[in-house]
Structure 1
Amino acid sequence: MATDRRRTRRTGALTRASVRRGSGQRPRRPEEEDEGSTGRMRFVQSPTTWLLGILLAVVTVTFQDVLTASVKTILPLDRVPDRLSPQNAIDVVEIKDVKDIGYYVVRDAEGAGSAADRKIIEEISSGRSWRKGRRAVDAGNAEWMITVQGRAAQQIRITDIVPVLEGGRCEKPLGGSLVHFPSQGVTDVIPLELEVDAPRPRLKISGKDGKDAEPFFTGPQAKHITLNQNETEAFIVRATASTGYCRWRYRVHYEVGGGTAEMTISGPGGKPFELTARMTDASGYRKVYFPSFDCLPSGPPPPHSWYEQAGAEYARDRRSGKVPPCPEG
């Protein structure tokens, strides 16, 4: 039988068209996968890889230090960012009571009486730190020396120091016992004045040639205090009160690193500063304690240097405005 030449012979071979249509990635054999994973782990654990990682870390840190030093050399100090927080740029080194001589009010404690009076006289006569314990409050005036130090790498500029009253106002003057007592001396530092019970209390500095005190941080003659790194500055605030009992802290405004910040300065132990006006009539005090130079002795110098009187008697003896005789006993 003759074969039809036009008919195509069927075979089992794949045509090129079928290869293209059915082309795809051949699945990896298990042994090939194991070989790839083992190769990657071998690379990671290689000593050369670890050495390259350590060298890269060292180079990165060194570059950062060199870049920081270069920036500080090129840019002005007040434009270089500081690693310290601006809120921690100033340290309060010391707060010291430097009142030279003046009056204090001793709060009446529980059980106040003759025993308490004798204890006060003993403490005053011995020269011990009788004012500690917050029983004694400056009366009429107070003098505190505040020492601050700059911590930032760039210069700090203190632009204002504002007293902030506890409760927003002063209260009526304190009663109790009045003490006239000399304290320690004062060093030569920046003297600032503060009328703490004024309507708008501000720090001032005495004017030249007897002129009235002028604002220190504000006004046409405004000044500021600068602190370089590790530099200290001390200033004395001479506060007065004529009408009330005041408790306050200082809010310090300053500039550092091209920005502004503020901090709070409190009194010793983190408590507010405090000052009371003296009563206009000394008879309002339970007792008054004063040294021998506040009166005229009638005979030889007394064996002790302190006297005590009831407030009413002290007021009576001084109504004339003259120095009265020393009380007997």
Structure 2
Amino acid sequence: MANNRRGARRTSALTRASVRRGSGPRSPRPEEEEAATGRLRFVKSPTTWLLGIVLAVVTVTFQDVLTATVKTILPLDRVPDRLSPQNAVDVVEVKDVKDIGYYLVRDAGGDGEILEEISSGGSWREGRKVVDAGNAEWMITVQGRAAQQVRITDIVPVVEGGRCEKPLGGSLAHFPSQGVTDVIPLELEVDAPRPRLKISGKDGKDAQPFFTGPEAKHITLNQNETEAFIVRATSTTGYCRWRYRVHYEVGGSTAEMTISGPGGKPFELTARLTDASAYRKVYFPAFDCLPSGARPPTGWYEQTGAEYARDRRSGKVPPCPNG
């Protein structure tokens, strides 16, 4: 029994007295007070703050140098980009640059107004339901937004509804428009069974696919670099509405985007009617007809579709109408 009592006294279990003694605050030792004071003095030191600022600047500079070094060593299309591939290309401008050609006016109400606006050089196309007829020319300017190079591999026209409709009727106007700048010229038969963007060969003959085929090409865009191209679209059989689906590669990924016409609407183009007499009215400038006598070819003229077809039935250039 005595041994048990002695063993109990040697146990390491905490007693209530020991817990109370250990729970109270303990006076710090002199060496601990000196260490804490030294640490506080070091933190408040101006030298310490200056050293921290220098280290922060060095860290940021090192990160920039490292990033630039990696971009120099690795190919541009292998460097990860912070920008989403879906936003790597921006459409800067979509502009109508048709030099001269025909336009279809769906709603020809107020014929006198149209002739007056055309004669005065007013913007008669604005606010009216006017559609390119026979051919259209659009200049599209795109810009690279990614930190690395973007490679446009294909631009595919996507026709609304999968096919073109019958040509539009109404009134026809022959009118010059803006000029054209020196950019990539592409051709498109939008009412073809499988429309593709093509580029003319030498002497403007034998147009070949631009993005596909044995001589396939692509368009590359570095960051903030712009590229413009003109699409000369034609239609001989129908009325077509379409947008462009752009396929491109960036940062080792593939993505696509859509290019629409002004205001987010589809591009549109109608074939000219084979019989001009089917048009209600036709508006044309003086250089479409021969001047009578010595009168210079100036001014604009209006005829009914039947009159216009009759005067041009012989295949020769008719004289300008009187009046």
Q: What TM-score bracket applies, with the shorter chain setting the length?
A: 0.7 to 0.9
Q: Which residue is equivalent to 1:70?
A: 69
| 1:26 pairs with 2:19 | yes
Deviations 1:230-283 (A, max 9, x none): 222111110000111111111111111111111111111221111110011112
- Alignment-derived partner of residue 190 in structure 1: 184
**What are the equivalent positions in structure 2 for 1:114-133 lying under 5 Å apart?**
116-133=110-127
Partner-residue secondary structure (3-state), 1:20: coil
Larger mean CA deviation between 287-296 and 317-326 belongs to 317-326
SS at match of 2:151: strand
Please give the alpha-carbon distance, in whole angstroms, between the structure 1 residues aligned to 2:279 and 2:296.
25
**1:142-180 deviation digits (Å, cap 9, x = unpaired):** 111112222222111111001111222211111111001
1:218 lines up with 2:212 in the alignment: yes
Q: Distance in 2 between the 1:312 and 1:47 partners? A: 96
Unaligned segments of structure 1, at least 5 residues = 1-6, 33-38
Match of 2:272 in 1: 278
Q: Once the two structures are superposed, what CA deviation does each residue of 1:183-235 show, in whole Å capped at 9, x if it has no partner?
A: 22222221110000111100001122564211010011111111122222111
CA distance in 2, matches of 1:91, 1:147: 9
Within the alignment, does 1:101 sit opposite 2:95 as a pair? Answer: no
Q: 1:142 to 1:303 in 2, by over 3 A?
A: closer
Question: Matches of residues 295-314 of structure 1 in structure 2 within 5 Å?
Answer: 295-301=289-295, 305-314=299-308
Give the gaps of 5 or more residues in structure 2: 27-35
Q: Which amino acid is the alignment partner of residue 169 of structure 2? A: G
Q: With structure 1 as the length reference, what TM-score do the two structures score?
A: 0.82
Match of 1:180 in 2: 174
- Structure 2 Cα separation of the partners of residues 89 and 305 of structure 1: 49
SS of match in other structure, 1:128: coil
Taking the aligned partners of 1:179 and 1:161, their CA distance within structure 2 comes to 31
Contact 2:291 2:297 (8 Å CA) reproduced = no
Q: Residue 70 of structure 2 aligns to a residue in which SS?
A: helix
Q: How do 1:249-288 and structure 2 match up within 5 A?
A: 249-288=243-282
- Which moved further from structure 2: 71-80 or 170-179? 71-80
Q: CA deviation at 1:134?
A: 5.2
SS of alignment partner, residue 125 of structure 1? helix
Secondary structure of the corresponding residue to residue 313 of structure 1: helix
Q: TM-score, normalised by structure 2?
A: 0.84
Name 1:290's counterpart in structure 2: 284
Q: Select which of 299, 310, 313 maps to 1:316.
A: 310
1:15 equivalent in structure 2: 6
**What is the distance in 2 between the residues matched to 1:209 and 1:121?**
38
> Which of structures 1 and 2 has the bigger CA Rg?
1
| 1:284 alignment partner AA | A
Where 2:143 maps in the other structure, the secondary structure is strand
Secondary structure, aligned partner of 2:320:
coil
Q: What secondary structure sits across from 2:161 in the alignment?
A: helix
Say which is worse superposed, 240-249 or 68-77, in terms of deviation: 68-77
CA distance in structure 2 between the partners assigned to 1:16 and 1:307 by the alignment: 127
Alignment check: 8 A CA contact 2:290 2:297 kept = no
- Structure 1 residue 121: Cα displacement: 1.2
For 2:122 and 2:175, the matched residues in 1 are separated by 12
Which whole-Å CA distance do the structure 1 matches of 2:133 and 2:2 have between them? 126
Runs ≥4 in structure 1, deviation > 4 angstroms?
7-10, 50-63
- Mapped to 2, the partners of 1:296 and 1:60 lie a distance apart of 78
Cα separation, 2, equivalents of 1:134 and 1:198: 28
Provide the rounded CA distance (Å) in 2 between the counterparts of 1:9 and 1:156: 89
Distance 1:272 1:47, change over 3 A: farther
1:11-36 CA distances to partner (integer Å, 9 max, x unpaired)?
A: xxx5234542745783652646xxxx
Match among 162, 166, 171 for residue 160 of structure 2: 166
How many residues are treated as equivalent by the alignment? 310
Superposed CA offset, 1:271-318 (max 9, x none): 111111001111211110011122223345379611101112211222
The answer to whether the 8 A contact 2:287-2:297 is kept is no
Whether 1:83 aligns to 2:82 is yes
Pick from 124, 133, 143 the counterpart of residue 139 of structure 1: 133
Distance 1:53 1:15, change over 3 A: farther
2:19 is paired with a residue whose SS is coil
Decide whether the 8 Å contact of 2:107 with 2:128 is kept in 1. no
Report the Cα distance in structure 1 between the residues aligned to 2:2 and 2:199, rounded to whole angstroms: 118
